[in-house]
Amino acid sequence: MRLIVICLCAAMLAAGCSGKKAKDPQLNNLRLTSDLIESLSKNDHKAAASRAAKLRTILPESSFLSMLEECETGNIYIAQAQPLLDKGDLEGANKIIDKGLEDHPMNRYLAQSRAQLQLLAKFQKALETAMHPMGAVNLQESIAEIKELGAAYPKSTFIPAFIAAREKDALVMEKHELKRAYDSLVAEYRILSKTDPALAGVLAAQIAYEKDHPDASRM
């Protein structure tokens, strides 16, 4: 999963030439713009955010520069979190994004990244439960959760295949659990038929029902 926010930079600021040498604002804009584009091309997010901020002091009404500064500020932290995420270190990635939000609590890109990581954590937990379920019901619940969370990853080929395989396992597990419960009833009936005939009669009726139930029939 890639968290890096892709910023498409197409900033073109009109710059006129004049005979003045030193501190022509248009020439300053041109130089800053060139430096900004260079930083973006090198994925130097810290420099890009700083240069976008400097350009904003010259062009305070530019919504593009405002978005770009916020985006590249977020990418400073996201770029650090990504390698950890690639290694499966969700906790480490979360710590970096949380630090970014402490420093920049209103940053939308960091907030989106945190939401993605939270979703990924839920998804990973559901997968782990489905791999090591405590029972058929537990497996069925985790499969339902994977289906819901999997909607966020529509291009994944792994998720549908995983769900199909675990649904088959859930059916087998359910039948096994029903059979085990049926066998337990029969064993208890045999004991009670010698010690408590009245209670044994109640169990006999339940056993008769379970025996006629397709999912509880002996395999």
Q: Are residues 145 and 218 in the same domain?
A: yes
**What domain range includes position 77?**
26-127
Instruction: Say whether both 120 and 31 belong to one domain.
Output: yes
Backbone angles phi, psi at 21, to 5 degrees: -90, -55
Taking the C-alpha atoms of residue 116 and residue 29, their distance in angstroms, rounded to an integer, is 36
Number of domains in the chain: 2
- Residues 122 and 138 placed together within one structural domain of the fold: no
Rounded mean pLDDT of 138-166?
88
Q: For 45-49, 55-59, 192-196, which range has the lowest pLDDT when averaged over its residues? A: 192-196
pLDDT score, position 33: 86
Q: How would you classify residue 88: left for phi > 0, otherwise alpha for psi between -120 and 50, otherwise beta? A: left
pTM (predicted TM-score): 0.66
> Do residues 101 and 159 both lie within one domain?
no
Tell me how long the chain is. 219
Among residues 69, 104, 127, the one where a domain terminates is 127
137: in domain: yes
Which residues, including other chains, have CB under 8 Å from residue 128's CB and lie 6 or more apart? none
Residue 38 has pLDDT above 50, yes or no: yes
Which among 93, 127, 161 is the end of a domain? 127
Where a domain ends, among 127, 151, 175? 127
Which residue type occupies 112?
Q
Average pLDDT over residues 180-199: 77
| Sequence-ordered list of residues with C-beta below 8 angstroms from that of 160, at least 6 positions apart, any chain | 150
The tens digit of pLDDT for each residue in 62-100 reads 888 899 999 999 999 999 999 988 888 889 999 999 999
* Range from 19-23, 124-128, 138-142 carrying the lowest mean pLDDT: 19-23
In a domain? residue 21: no
Residue-level pLDDT at 199: 77
In a domain, 210, yes or no: yes
Which CATH number fits the domain that encloses residue 87?
1.25.40
CA distance 13 to 217: 78
